[in-house]
Structure 1
Amino acid sequence: MNSKLNILVRVDLDHARAQVIAKGHITVHSVQALYVVVKRANSLKQGLDLELDISNAWVDDEALEQLQACSRTHHLPAKIDPQQKPCNVSVLAPRVPAVTGPALIAA
């Protein structure tokens, strides 16, 4: 899998929906870039329903926990959004969790 983070945003303002699709490797560092994109999408229209699709990404456990916390609290981290505007983001989790630790190789 490519470690470079690729992000695509689809927006339907008529139905107040947006989808942020991320592929590649999401780490605790690269998740910050994802937050910025989500914040920009959220600013397009009040009450926008955002779906964060990371189903085809390789997501580190800590980064996934951070994203799920945003989904539960409906707020982005204060460092990203100091005004703490409501953010209705749902996370479509990866199909296969990231490997945390040395990978086992079958002989």
Structure 2
Amino acid sequence: MAEKLDVLVRVDLEGAHVQITVQGRVTEQSVQALYVVVKRANALMRGLEMEIDLTRASVEPAALDQLRAYSESRHLPAHIDPLQADCRLSVLAPAEFLTTTGNARLAA
């Protein structure tokens, strides 16, 4: 798996939805770059539903834990977004993180 992140952002302003598809290796360090992408997408319009699709990425458990925590709190890290704007983020985890129910979505 490539160390470099490959990120594709799809924006549907009419449907108020953003999908961020990630490939590569997501680490505790590289997840910071994803937060910046999410912040920029979140600034496009209020109330956007954002989804980070990690199903094609290799993700360190600590990075996934961070993403889960921020999706549950509905805020990005303060050093990324000092104003702490509401952020409606869900995460689609890679297959190795599927729960026993088979649901990969970590938060809504």
What is the TM-score with the length of structure 2 in the denominator? 0.87
Segments of 5+ residues of structure 1 without an aligned counterpart are 98-107
- Which portions of structure 1, spanning 4 or more consecutive aligned residues, are displaced by more than 4 angstroms? none
- Amino acid paired to 1:32: Q
Q: How many residues align?
A: 97
Give me the CA root mean square deviation: 0.8
> Take 2:72 and 2:94, find their aligned partners in 1: how far apart are those partners?
17
| Residue 74 of structure 2: aligned partner | 74
> Take 1:94 and 1:86, find their aligned partners in 2: how far apart are those partners?
25
CA positional deviation for 1:57? 0.5
CA positional deviation for 1:2? 1.5
What SS class does the counterpart of residue 65 from structure 2 fall into? helix
Segments of 5+ residues of structure 2 without an aligned counterpart are 98-108
CA positional deviation for 1:4? 1.1
Q: Does 1:4 align with 2:4?
A: yes
Identical counterparts, % of pairs = 55
What SS class does the counterpart of residue 11 from structure 2 fall into? strand
| Greater Cα radius of gyration, structure 1 or 2 | 1
| Residue 41 of structure 1: aligned partner | 41
What is the TM-score with the length of structure 1 in the denominator? 0.88
